[in-house]
Amino acid sequence: MTKFDFNYRLKELGLTLRDFSDISNVSYSTINNWGFEKDDGKKIAIPVWVEPFLDNYEKAKKYDYLKKEIFDVMKEIEK
């Protein structure tokens, strides 16, 4: 995953770097450094766990939305 891909994915999910820092428990400065070059010329890689983490976050958001909708419909039916 590139820094561009990472930032694009966060935007798709409606997350800021600060939001991602909070939910992933990774310091903001660490996340902000991903994708940049160190003094020795090597890039600071985005960890491999980030992409599946974002995939699962997206699934969880969809699940929470569906669950809420179903419970709202059930409440209406019970009335």
pLDDT in tens, 1-13: 999 999 999 999 9
**pTM for the whole thing?**
0.78
- pLDDT confidence bin for 61, thresholds 50/70/90: very high
pLDDT in tens, 7-30: 999 999 999 999 999 999 999 999
The set of residues, in sequence order, having a beta carbon less than 8 Å from that of 22 and lying 6+ positions away, is none
Composition of the chain by helix, strand, coil, percent to 5: 70, 5, 30
Name the token pair of 62.
Answer: 């969809």
Within 10 angstroms of residue 31's Cβ, the number of other Cβ atoms is 19
